[in-house]
Amino acid sequence: MTFNSNKLRFALTMSLRETRAAAGKFAFLVLAIAIGTGALTAVTGFNASVRYTLTREARSLMAADISVRLPLRPPQSDLDTLKALEAEGIETTRVTETVSMASVQNHVPVLISVKGADLAHYPFYGTLDLDPPKTQLGADTVAVSDDLLLRLGIKVGDSIRVGQKEFRVAARVVSEPDRMTTGFTLGPRVLFTREGLASTGIVTDISRVTERVLLKLPESHNLSVLRARLESTYGKRAGITDYTETNPALTRALDRSTRFLSMVSLIALIVGGLGVGATMQSHLRQKMTNIAFMKCIGGRSEHILYIYLAQAIWLGILGSVLGAVFGAFAQAMFARLVANYFDVNVTLIWPLMAMLQGIVAGLATTALFSLPPLLAIRSIRPASLLQKTFTGESTTVRDRASLIAAAVAITGLWGIAVWVSGSSAMRASLPEA
Amino acid sequence: MITVRNLVKTIRHEVHTVEIIRDISFEIPDRQFAAIMGPSGSGKSTLLGLMAGLDWPTSGQIEIDGVDITRLNEDQMAMLRGRKLGFVFQAYHLVPTLTAIENVMLPMEMLGDERDGAFPRAEYLLTSVGLHDRSAHYPAQLSGGEQQRVALARAFMMKPSILFADEPTGNLDSKNGAHVLELLWELNRTEGTTLILVTHDEGLASRADRRIFLTDGRLAQ
């Protein structure tokens, strides 16, 4: 089969002329593909943006270069070992976290996430934002998150009881840099100074507390060497992470969510593809006499098929590109959603790979769902123009072509699903930056 | 020259086999106007379709300029139709999404050649049928007579050696029908085309060089 540039130009020109006359019908097709592609791009693009943010803001998200997590109240020797590092110019500070109850008069106590930190040093990176700004907490004051104010029906300046002591709420916690990396928290935040936390009496030898020691290295120190030293000292007693890991638990959860949402988006795309197939089928049914006439005046099935294939492809490209651009912007919705749960501002980037993936998936879906109706062009016979005197379509060809088209479509969709889910899985297995 | 020899066309309809064309033979010399006539169901359109290479006969031969078209495959047949044959149908069969001039250019664009020559040729033909000022109109914006005149212009676009017309005035009133036929004779004369026309119209057939009467798929004359 030969196909010169004139015929390609003719196919494109005819496809444009065909679309020009039925813009409304094809606007639906473009929209169907754009929605599916947009959803897919938004999900995978947001994953890329979060990863970019985690990499760029790694130190801030940990508030340190290295974090040594000691799950139980540590023996003094462990703390002394860390303290000894200060002689090498390494700064350290302790952050104690636990769970307790906060109460006010005439109100049911509320479960809270307690954090006690030395606010003269914490955080080493990033900023702890309080409202009013620059509030100095003391042994009798705390800063609390908005949700605690709401749940206890109090305001800044009121007092809450934690453990055996009353504390005045001096400020609201607007954001804390390592909130995202401290893992699951059970209630609203209440931030104490270390002295304040000690005075509550809730931290005892039998308390379930998490002790983190944050380390800030001078530039002369090698991060990996120090980390190896700490690991050999503490073995499995401590969870040691450094900022280059960007929180593996978080990225794993992110990838699992991305894979699930990608599959949901793919289903949206496939539903859009069904719309594409139905639109093309109805379009071609209306075009049967035109197609028969084109065959009558010398058009071969392949050449006519190229017209409608070109139409499906460029409408698919239009829908996919629109969807990919829409998806890139739609990430902002995810960012807003996540901002409600984590104190991190996700830096949204142009997720070029996610957009490319969305475009390829959208275009492939369009092509696959257009294929069965397009192949039916082969069975339209020019003799049908001469009314009822001729035998109709060649059912053998149509059936065989339909089977092939169905097989190609199913295989193609399976391939797209594997590709979309596989690419997320592959990212999950990549070493962190 | 068109030569038809022992032409037979049967179609299988479930368990029945229907013989539509029964052993027909005749010749139509170049530039002749032949009218195919006969009652409904006599096989006129089937014969036209077979001679135009739109379908294959069950047996027999059809030669166009010495080439037996019954031996051509689908692609070769399409090539022959595109290069040598022109068509006018009762239902016009204009492409509704194309303007009048785009419809006229279609046969030349379809074959992917002489693109630069398509537009002036189409303009010339539209002018010949009196529709130059309607070239940018879509079929839906044209009357039936105008649509058939556009179809006429389109049929002559590739300078066909044979023009097949299936009841070209069947959907038109007498005034428009007469106008279309006058244009058909005129174009046929200036382009030097062999004209094969299926019609019920005795008056029209009387102008033919040769009349072929069909009854039950057989030549009645």
pLDDT tens, A286-343?
A: 888 889 999 999 888 888 998 999 988 989 999 999 999 999 888 888 777 777 666 6
Chain A residues in contact with B110 (beta carbon < 8 A): 10, 294, 297-299, 303
Question: Which pLDDT belongs to residue A255?
Answer: 77
Nearest-10 crossing angle of helices B144-155, B115-128: 140
Stretch 88-107 of chain B: residues touching chain A, C-beta under 8 Å: 89, 91, 93, 95-98, 102, 106-107
CB A321 within 8 Å of CB A359 = yes
A224: confidence class by pLDDT, cuts 50, 70, 90: confident
A72: confidence class by pLDDT, cuts 50, 70, 90: low
Judged by a CB distance cut-off of 8 A, whether residue B87 touches chain A is yes
Chain A residues in contact with B81 (beta carbon < 8 A): 296-298, 382
DSSP A373: H
* Minimal-distance CA residue of chain B relative to A9: B112
**Structure-token pair, residue A268:** 């949206």
pLDDT tens, A327-337?
A: 988 888 877 77
B141: confidence class by pLDDT, cuts 50, 70, 90: very high
What's the pTM value of the predicted model, to 2 decimals?
Answer: 0.71
Nearest CB to A298; choose among B95, B96, B111: B111
The nearest CA of chain B is from the CA of A5 a distance in Å of 8
Residue A431 has pLDDT above 60, yes or no: no
Question: Which pLDDT belongs to residue A392?
Answer: 42
* Minimal-distance CA residue of chain B relative to A384: B54
Residue A395 has pLDDT above 50, yes or no: no
Give ipTM to 2 decimals.
0.90
CB A94 within 8 Å of CB A171 = no
Chain B residues in contact with A389 (beta carbon < 8 A): 20, 43, 45-46, 49
Residue A432 has pLDDT above 60, yes or no: no
Question: Which pLDDT belongs to residue B60?
Answer: 94
Chain A residues in contact with B95 (beta carbon < 8 A): 290, 293-294
Provide the sign of the torsion angle of the four alpha carbons B104, B109, B111, B117, taken in this order: positive
Question: Which pLDDT belongs to residue A388?
Answer: 47
Q: Which residues are within 8 A (CB) of A262 and not within 5 positions of it... i.e. 6 or more apart?
A: A40, A43, A44, A420, A421, A424
Question: Which pLDDT belongs to residue B138?
Answer: 93
Residue A391 has pLDDT above 60, yes or no: no
A426: confidence class by pLDDT, cuts 50, 70, 90: very low
* Minimal-distance CA residue of chain A relative to B90: A386
Instruction: Work out the mean pLDDT of chain A and round it to a whole number.
Output: 82
Nearest CB to B113; choose among A6, A293, A295: A6
Percentage of chain A exceeding pLDDT 70: 88
Judged by a CB distance cut-off of 8 A, whether residue B78 touches chain A is yes
Task: Over range B153-176, report the average pLDDT.
Answer: 88
pLDDT tens, A114-172?
A: 999 999 999 998 889 999 998 899 999 999 999 999 999 999 999 999 998 999 999 99
Give the separation between CA A46 and CA A52, rounded to whole angstroms.
10
Question: Which pLDDT belongs to residue B26?
Answer: 93
| Residue showing tokens 């209440």 | A190
Phi, psi dihedrals of residue B130, rounded to the nearest 5°: 75, 25
**Structure-token pair, residue B204:** 């029209």
**Strands of the sheet with B218-219, listed across from one edge:** B85-89, B162-166, B194-198, B33-37, B210-215, B218-219
Instruction: Work out the mean pLDDT of chain B and round it to a whole number.
Output: 89
Residue A424 has pLDDT above 70, yes or no: no
Q: ∠ at Cα A57 (A56, A58), nearest 5°?
A: 95
